């Protein structure tokens, strides 16, 4: 039993004529053609051909999903910034704001669409820090654990606001916190937000973590050892 999820069936169910003027489409007037796909799990068939057909008709595809389906959502969406994913429905509701912001830019014609020619990479490195005055940081700050996954997901999908035109952002995120013995606990930079969140969870009982001059110096030193051509946040 159970529901069998078939992306190809649903996507090809949108008749091609629905995206042309005869059916009311204003594509010839440069009105954005937008499809939002809500994905509740892994597809049971090959959806890539179907979604490629829509993209070739200049339909902009947004992908929203819950669960461990990052790769599938990326294949569905027209751009990396058009993906919203979370582990639970509750977390997803917080990420939808990101999609709405991108959608608003799309409708207003402000979205920087990826160029067809070979783009250059814009490297962005983001270091996340925090301070908690208790040994068990999640007991002292219950929202820290529940919110951190959403925060890391949103940072990793950062739009190209810090990049020049024609560049695609390559975002890596790390975490650094200073413990009470003034020893930095740092988690390596990565482009995988899920792995970083799992590593962050291991810091549960390593508090308290402090924010002071040494913490700021540790942030500076951490960036010094990174690549010079990256934008550092």
Dist. CA 133–CA 141, nearest whole Å: 9
The model's pTM: 0.51
Can you name the CATH fold of 43-112+120-223? Rossmann fold (3.40.50)
Tell me the torsion sign for CA atoms 227, 202, 95, 177: negative
**Tens digit of pLDDT for each residue in 186-206?**
899 998 888 888 888 888 888
pLDDT of 1 reads 36
Q: Is the pLDDT of residue 20 over 70?
A: no
Q: Which of 57-71, 130-144, 200-214 has the lowest mean pLDDT?
A: 57-71
What is the DSSP secondary structure assignment for residue 45, as one 8-state letter? S
| Position with higher pLDDT, 125 vs 46 | 125
Domain boundaries, the chain: 43-112+120-223
């Amino acid at each position: 039993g159970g529901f069998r999820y078939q992306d190809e069936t649903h996507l090809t169910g949108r008749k091609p004529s629905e995206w042309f003027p005869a059916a009311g489409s204003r594509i010839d007037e440069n009105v954005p053609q937008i499809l939002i796909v809500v994905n509740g799990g892994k597809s049971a068939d090959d959806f890539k051909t179907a979604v490629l057909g829509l993209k070739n008709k200049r339909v902009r595809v947004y992908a929203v999903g819950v669960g461990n389906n990052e790769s599938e959502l990326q294949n569905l969406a027209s751009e990396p910034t058009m993906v919203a994913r979370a582990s639970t429905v509750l977390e997803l509701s917080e990420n939808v704001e990101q999609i709405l912001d991108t959608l608003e830019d799309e409708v207003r014609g402000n979205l920087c669409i990826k160029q067809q020619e070979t783009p250059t990479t814009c490297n962005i490195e983001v270091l996340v820090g925090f301070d908690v005055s208790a040994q068990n940081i999640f007991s002292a700050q219950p929202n820290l654990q529940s919110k951190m996954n959403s925060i890391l997901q949103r940072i990793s999908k950062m739009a190209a606001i810090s990049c020049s035109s024609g560049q695609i952002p390559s975002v890596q995120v790390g975490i650094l916190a200073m413990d009470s013995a003034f020893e930095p606990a740092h988690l390596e930079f990565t482009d995988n937000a899920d792995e970083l969140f799992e590593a962050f969870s291991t810091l549960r009982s390593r508090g308290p973590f402090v924010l002071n001059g040494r913490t700021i110096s540790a942030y500076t030193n951490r960036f010094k050892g990174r690549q010079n051509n990256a934008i550092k946040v």
